Amino acid sequence: MFPYLLLCGFLLGHTLTAVVATSNSDEQALYESYSHMITNIKSAMLDSMRASWEQGTALGSIIELSYPQYSVFGDTPFISTGAIPISALHLALSAVVRQSSDGRLSQVIGDALDGAALDGASAGSGVLLGSFTDPLRSAYWANASKAQLDFLLYKAPRTSTGAISHRIDSKQYWADGVYMGPPFIAYYGAVTQNQTLLQLAYDNCRLYRDALLVPGPTGNLWAHIYSDDNKTFFDEGIWGTEILDGEFAALTPQNLVPDYLTGGSPFGDASSSAALSSVAYRASTLFPDHFPSNYTDVAARIRDAVIGGVDELGVLSPVVDPLSFGVVGVLSTEGQAFAGMMFSAWRDWICWD
């Protein structure tokens, strides 16, 4: 029982009854056997150079792994428990220090700003988290997150349907965009109790879905990039996205999600695999009736395949090169972050099960 207390006690904050009632001690022991690996995976992520989307994804991963009470999957995501999420705020602080004058976070790196309109916003939730967990810098955090929100609301280009474009110099929908922009808008709406913002976040996911959904070989799936300027798919390949049924039906013999299902390289990609495994565990924890054990069974197979590819440095492989979508890369900082999310989603599923 003691390991369970260590693993789940801080999450549940519940009574010993809940602890004793659990029947999944094998899963807990298995999770704990990976604690050294998780440390290395996290370290490879934090020690990487990071572009805007990697900074935000790393920040999201640290919140889920190390400060689960402040994760949107936790008990009190929108109010302070009195604890300062220090490592998360380290990442957020760097994102603000590198905020561009137009409001986008994590931009001033090297010579150029992002071509992306949405990627900087991926650090936005962590920055806003600072506004109510770090009293000393409260105004600083609030100001920076407001500037990032205002960029999305008033400065980023809009597509013909009113969606916020993923790109700054053209109007494009990218599947990746739904992780980068809408979650921050929704979180801002939740923290400030502003329903208009929650609706806007939902509408952007809906409009991206409308633009990107295509019939795939295993059901409806999302294509990667659609240009609203010339109404053509710039990358029609079905990329690893969050569509569980279609993706889970298409696993490689190694139990990984292919980089592209169609229109691109089909190698198993540990990065999107870890992301989708985490989504299945989260979905099953939140909506167990809709996502029963056939989802978590696949999530566990994928998880084991991802773990099987982690090397002595804690680095995942094979992973898609973050700068060249169809090629296997050496290090994906985003993939390292997704692995952290996979472990934390698995842990939270064990603890609530």
Ligand X SMILES: *[C@@H]1O[C@H](CO)[C@@H](O)[C@H](O)[C@H]1NC(C)=O
Query: Which chain residues interact with ligand X by CB under 6 A?
Result: 99, 139-140, 143, 147, 153, 170, 172, 194, 196-197, 227, 229-230, 232, 234, 244-245, 248, 294-295, 298
Which amino acid does the sequence have at 316?
L
Q: Of the two residues 201 and 315, which places its CB atom closer to ligand X in the complex?
A: 201
Exposed/middle/buried for residue 328 (C-beta within 10 Å: 0-12, 13-18, 19+): middle
Residue 342 Cβ vs ligand X, minimum distance, rounded to whole Å: 16
Q: Of the two residues 22 and 252, which places its CB atom closer to ligand X in the complex?
A: 252
Residue 284's H or E segment, with its range, is helix 270-286
Q: Of the two residues 249 and 328, which places its CB atom closer to ligand X in the complex?
A: 249
Q: Of the two residues 12 and 109, which places its CB atom closer to ligand X in the complex?
A: 109
Residue 253 Cβ vs ligand X, minimum distance, rounded to whole Å: 17
Q: How far apart are CA 334 and CA 341, in angstroms?
A: 10
339 neighbors 307 (Cβ within 8 angstroms): no
Q: Of the two residues 147 and 256, which places its CB atom closer to ligand X in the complex?
A: 147
Q: Of the two residues 67 and 226, which places its CB atom closer to ligand X in the complex?
A: 226
Identify the residue whose tokens are 């369970």: 4
Q: How far apart are CA 288 and CA 295, in angstroms?
A: 10
The token pair that represents 94 in the structure block: 């760097």
Q: Of the two residues 25 and 196, which places its CB atom closer to ligand X in the complex?
A: 196
Cα–Cα distance list, 166 to 98, 120, 183 (Å): 20, 11, 14
Residue 304 Cβ vs ligand X, minimum distance, rounded to whole Å: 16
Question: Which residues contact residue 225 at a Cβ distance below 8 angstroms, ignoring those fewer than 6 apart?
Answer: 166, 172, 173, 174, 175, 233, 234, 235
Q: Of the two residues 15 and 230, which places its CB atom closer to ligand X in the complex?
A: 230
CA neighbor of 349 nearest in space, from 6, 2, 22, 13: 22
Residue 159 Cβ vs ligand X, minimum distance, rounded to whole Å: 11
CA neighbor of 320 nearest in space, from 305, 304, 308, 331: 331
Exposed/middle/buried for residue 92 (C-beta within 10 Å: 0-12, 13-18, 19+): buried
Residue 65 Cβ vs ligand X, minimum distance, rounded to whole Å: 25
Residue 127 Cβ vs ligand X, minimum distance, rounded to whole Å: 11
81 neighbors 149 (Cβ within 8 angstroms): no
Residue 307 Cβ vs ligand X, minimum distance, rounded to whole Å: 20
Q: Strands 219-227 and 232-238: what pairing?
A: antiparallel
Residue 8 Cβ vs ligand X, minimum distance, rounded to whole Å: 26
Residues in the chain: 353
